[in-house]
Structures are given as C-alpha cells and as structure tokens.
Amino acid sequence: MLQKKIFSYILVYILRTINTLIPKNRKLVLFSSNDGYSGNAKAMYVYMLKNCPEYKLIWVLHSREEIQRLEADGIRCYYSCSLPGIIAVTRARYLLGTHLEFSRYKAFFGQTYINLWHGMLIKNLGFMDPGEKQLWNYKFTWQNNDIVSVPSGFYGAILSAQTGIDHRKCKITGFPKNDLLFSSDGKKNLETLFEDIFDFEKVILYCPTYRSVLKRTIKRTDSSYDSMYFIDKYFGKDMESLFREHKICSLVKLHPFEEGLLAGKKFSKNIKIVTNEILKKKGLSVEEILSGTDLLITDYSSIYMDYLLLGSPIMFIADDIEEYKKRRGIIFNNYDFVICGPKIFTETMFKKEMLRLLSDPGYFKKEREEKTKIFHEAKSNFCQSLLNEIRKD
C-alpha cells in the first residue's frame, strides 16, 4: 500500500507539472461524468450552451457508443483515452465533473476544477465511512477541487467532514440538475418512455441505492440484501393486485451498479423498469421525469434529497437499516433525523402507508418542509448560481 501511494503521488505530480506547462484556452470548458451525458454535468452544459455563446464546450466521456449518439446530435465529444481527449483536458481553462474525473491531474495553477458532484448523500462517505479502505485517496483527489456545488451550508459542512475538502470551497449554488425538476414536464417525458402512462391514476417511483458493487475501483458490500430482495417483497405478484385495484403504475429505477439484476425479469403492466440506457436513448435524465410521479419510495439514496424540492410524499424501505448502519453508516448515525416519511419493514406497512401518502397531502408534510429548510438553502436558479461562481474565478 505504501509503495502504491508513493508511486501515485510521483506519477500525479509529473502529470500535473506537464499539464501546468501547457497553455490554457480561457474560453474552453470541459465536461465529464462517470454517468455519461446526464445529471449535473448535462444540466450545466445545456444551460451554458444556451446562455454562454462565448465559451467553447466539449465533453470527454468513457463510452464510445454514447459519444457516437451525442455527436449525431451535434454535441462535441472526445473519448477519454484518446489523444484529442487528453489534449482537451490539458487545454481547458475549466474542468467540470460529477465524480472527480480528472481532478487529480488538474494543473497547479491556471486551471479551475469545478466539482458538480452527483447527489446529497445521506449515507456515510470517506472519512465517515467505516468500510472505506482508501482514505488516503480522498484528500489526494479532493484537494484539487476549486469549487464544489452544494445545496446548503449544512450539507457543505457534512461534505467537508466526509472528504477533507476545505469548507470554504463549498459554494451554496444547489445542484444544476435540479433546475430540471421545475423546467421539465415530467408526465409528458414519462409518456415518451411508456405510452400508456396516462392510463394510470397514480405513478410511484421506487429508486433505491446500491448495496453491493464490484465495479471500477469500488469493491464493497454494504448489506447482505440486494435490490431483488426488495423488488420480490414489495413489488412482486402479491402487490400487483393492489396496484391494479388502485390504478397505480410503479416505476422501478435501480442504481446503475445493480441494473443487471433485472436482466430477463418480466413484470405486469403496472410495474415498469427504467434504466439509464432507456433514459439516454430518449435524451432524458431521471430528474426530467420526477415531477411526473406522485410518490418516491427509496431507502438511503441521494435521490430523496432532490425529490424534497418538489414537496411530494416520500416513503422509506428500511428492512436492513441496522446492518446498513454498521457496514456503511448514515450521517449522524440517525436515520430518523435524516428522513421525512414513514419507515417500512413489512408488506402490510407498505400497502397502508403508500395508500395514505397518495391520498392525504398533509401526511408528513411538516416533516418534509423541515428537512427542505435544512438541506436546501438554494431552492432555484441552480445553473445560474453556479455560473456566477465560475465567473468570479
């Protein structure tokens, strides 16, 4: 481990030195995201494309297939491991990423890294995560951030404690993607995914976090349960009759790490699967469908924090909360403080609480409003607020 750390420091120092020596184009802005053309990076790109004609905007991505799709729409892209992609990274004045892409290779001066981040986590991260094995890598990577977008000073303090980032670099702009919550017609966008969506009286969305992953550099198991356990329990055949009776459409959107669990699975017309690939083929991000739903069902996923802005009801499935707290952890080790809806442990509770949340607008409304005040100091104009911070640089 020590040899790996030393080698990494030396290699990064050399690459950063080379990057520093290369002249920067002050009007060149580079976008990248491990999630591809989606989320905060997509929202900020679209906003700058419309409002900042003076800037040259380029994407550097990891998927050649996605690059071909985007180039067909006139979006300029480079493959991350290609020579043009590497040159773009070293020539850009501004680097915008959602998962710290290229942050460790940022020039020592003359280049600004803007961490758009990808969600307000209620689960532990970095120095607060009991299962994290590479803490040395956090400061090594996060220290190169110049601007980090956060929704509130409260969350900025949490992120600083989790990652070691200088809290003064956290700017209360809100996440750019959340502009899409208000500018998108969620129901109409859902119709582009599912033609029969208007046949239902209510649309609910089940969107859990991942519990096990062995991809990229992430290798961990945060629970002995996986998403199929919850789908079989709460969205299986016993629940389909309830959905049909109340004309409810249940959308299921798993974390990309676990989408493969649904391969080959078949469900009734009341249960529809949403994947990242389906969304991208329609040119959509998940934020562009949220306003078309009547209820979010989740657990420890950051999507809950974004959904708060809509004021719609939220329900939390927490079968494995005690195990999850031990393996991964919840901020402040207090799940009840973080959430603002009923906790579900059984099918009976699921049915009862779901129907009440869908029929009673006041149920848990006060709790939702309280959490929104804590976690969302910025409540609108997120892209413009971040652009203002960039222009100060």
CB 273 within 8 A of CB 267: yes
- Return the bridge partners of 149, or none: 171
Tokens of 63: 């998927």
Of the candidates 232, 209, 231, 205, the residue with the CA atom closest to the CA atom of residue 220:
209
Kindly calculate the radius of gyration of the chain based on its CA atoms and give it in whole angstroms.
21
Q: What SS3 state is found at 142?
A: helix
Tokens of 11: 């290699």
Cα–Cα distance for residue pair 176/82, rounded to 1 Å: 28
pLDDT, position 266: 84
Domains of the chain with CATH codes: 2-174+380-392 (3.40.50.11820), 185-375 (3.40.50.12580)
pLDDT, position 215: 65
pLDDT, position 359: 97
- Return the bridge partners of 94, or none: 29, 112
Task: Encode burial over 160-177: b for 16+ CB neighbours within 10 A, e otherwise.
Answer: bebbbbeeebbbbbbbbb
Tokens of 302: 């950051």
Per-residue pLDDT tens digits of the chain, which is 393 residues long: 677 778 888 888 999 999 999 999 999 999 999 999 999 999 999 999 999 999 999 999 999 999 999 999 999 999 999 999 999 999 999 999 999 999 999 999 999 999 999 999 999 999 999 888 888 888 778 999 999 999 999 999 999 999 999 999 999 999 999 999 999 999 999 999 999 999 999 999 999 999 987 665 567 888 999 889 999 999 988 898 999 999 999 999 999 889 988 887 888 899 999 999 999 999 999 999 999 999 999 999 999 999 999 999 999 999 999 999 999 999 989 999 999 999 999 999 999 999 999 999 999 999 999 999 999 999 999 999 999 999 998
- Return the bridge partners of 76, or none: none
Phi, psi torsion values for 342, nearest 5 degrees: -65, 145
pLDDT, position 217: 59
Residues ≥6 apart with Cβ < 8 Å to 354: 204, 295, 297, 315
From residue 259, alpha-carbon distances to 32, 232, 274, 377 in Å are 22, 15, 9, 33
Cα–Cα distance for residue pair 205/197, rounded to 1 Å: 13
- Return the bridge partners of 56, or none: 28
Q: Locate all alpha helices (DSSP H) within 173-226, ordered by sequence.
A: 180-183, 186-193
pLDDT, position 1: 65
pLDDT, position 132: 86
CB 27 within 8 A of CB 54: yes
Helix axes 153-163, 365-375, angle to 10 degrees: 60
